[in-house]
Structure 1
Amino acid sequence: MQKQNEKVIPFSEDKEPLGVAPGVLAKRDIVKTSTWCPNPKPDIEFDQWCDPLNPKTITYKDVLKAAAAIKEGIPRTSLVKSRFCQRFRIDLYYKYEIFHQTGSFHERGALYSLMMLSKEQKKKGVITASLGNWAMALAYQGLILNIPVMVVLPVQTLLSTVEKCEDFGATVILNGINLAESKRHAFVLLAENGRTYINGYDHPHVIAASGTIGLEIMHQLPQAEVVLVPVGGGGLIAGVAAAIKHINPQVLIYGIEPDKCCCFFKAMENEYPYQTAIGRSVAESLGVPNAGWNAFHTARSLIDKMVLVNDDWISRAVLHLADDEKIVTEGAGASSLSALMADPDIVPEIRGKSVVCIITGGNIDSITLPRCFERAKAVEGRLVKLTVTLPADSMKEQLKVLSMVANVGCNVLQSYIEHSWLTENDFKTIYLTLIIETYSLDHACSLKRVMERLFPNICNFLEEPFSPIPTCACFPKRFL
Structure 2
Amino acid sequence: MPNDVTFEEIVAARERIASGVLKTPCSESPLLSELCGCRVFPKLEYLQRTGSFKERGARNALLLLSEEQRRKGVTAASAGNHALALAYHGRDLGIPVTVVMPVFAPLVKQMRAASFGARVLLHGSNIGEAKVRADELVVDEGLTYIHGFDGADVIAGQGTLGLEILEQVSDVDAIVVPIGGGGLIAGLGLAVKTLRPDTEIIGVEPENAASYKAALEVGHPILTHMEPTLGDGLAVPTVGPRAFEIARKVVDRTVTVDEGRIALAILRLVELEKGVVEGAGATPLAALMSSKLADLKGKKVVIVLCGGNIDPTVLGRVIERGLVQGGRLAQFRAVISDRPGGLALLAETIADTGASVQQITHERAFASADVSKVEVTVVVETRDNEHFARLRKKLRERGIVVK
Q: Give the TM-score category using the shorter length.
A: over 0.9
Which residue does 2:354 correspond to in 1? 409
> What is the aligned counterpart of 1:77 among 12, 18, 24?
24
More helix by share: 2
C-alpha distance in structure 1 between counterparts of 2:155 and 2:345, whole Å: 62
Which residue does 1:67 correspond to in 2? 14
Contact kept in structure 2, 1:57 and 1:297, CA below 8 Å: no
C-alpha distance in structure 1 between counterparts of 2:211 and 2:61, whole Å: 24
The CA deviation at 1:319 is 1.4
SS of 1:245's partner is: helix
Which residue does 1:442 correspond to in 2? 386
Contact kept in structure 1, 2:44 and 2:306, CA below 8 Å: yes
Gap runs ≥5 in structure 1: 1-53, 461-480
The CA deviation at 1:320 is 1.2
C-alpha distance in structure 1 between counterparts of 2:157 and 2:195, whole Å: 16
> What is the aligned counterpart of 2:342 among 397, 403, 418?
397
Contact kept in structure 2, 1:417 and 1:431, CA below 8 Å: yes
Q: Which amino acid aligns with 1:264?
A: Y
Q: What TM-score do you get using the length of structure 2 for normalisation? A: 0.96
SS of 1:346's partner is: helix
Indicate yes or no: 2:120 matched with 1:172. yes
C-alpha distance in structure 1 between counterparts of 2:368 and 2:333, whole Å: 20
C-alpha distance in structure 2 between counterparts of 1:370 and 1:142, whole Å: 32
Which residue does 1:194 correspond to in 2? 142
Which residue does 1:459 correspond to in 2? 402
Q: Which amino acid aligns with 2:288?
A: L
Structure 2 CA distance for partners of 1:425 and 1:248, relative to 1, 3 Å:
closer
Contact kept in structure 2, 1:129 and 1:186, CA below 8 Å: yes
The CA deviation at 1:386 is 1.7
Report the more deviating stretch, 307-316 or 65-74. Answer: 307-316
Gap runs ≥5 in structure 2: none
SS of 1:301's partner is: helix
SS of 2:180's partner is: coil
Q: Which amino acid aligns with 2:399?
A: F
> What is the aligned counterpart of 1:432 among 369, 373, 376?
376
Which residue does 1:245 correspond to in 2? 193
Which residue does 2:45 correspond to in 1? 97
Q: Which amino acid aligns with 1:436?
A: V
Contact kept in structure 2, 1:420 and 1:426, CA below 8 Å: no
The CA deviation at 1:359 is 0.4
Contact kept in structure 2, 1:154 and 1:176, CA below 8 Å: yes
The CA deviation at 1:426 is 5.9
The CA deviation at 1:243 is 0.4
Contact kept in structure 1, 2:336 and 2:346, CA below 8 Å: no
Q: Which amino acid aligns with 1:373?
A: I
Q: What TM-score do you get using the length of structure 1 for normalisation? A: 0.81
Let me know the Cα RMSD of the aligned residues.
Answer: 1.6
Q: Which amino acid aligns with 1:334?
A: A
Q: Which amino acid aligns with 1:446?
A: R
Deviations 1:359-415 (A, max 9, x none): 001111222223222222222222210212235x43421122112211211111222
SS of 1:266's partner is: helix
1:193-272 equivalences in 2 (<5 Å):
193-272=141-220
Deviations 1:452-480 (A, max 9, x none): 11134x212xxxxxxxxxxxxxxxxxxxx
Q: Where has structure 1 moved over 6 Å in runs of 4 or more? A: none
Deviations 1:72-117 (A, max 9, x none): 1112110021113233221111000011111111111111111111
Identity across the alignment (%): 37
Aligned length: 402
Deviations 1:176-222 (A, max 9, x none): 11111111111122211110011101111111111111000001111
Contact kept in structure 1, 2:102 and 2:122, CA below 8 Å: yes
SS of 2:343's partner is: helix
Indicate yes or no: 2:304 matched with 1:358. yes
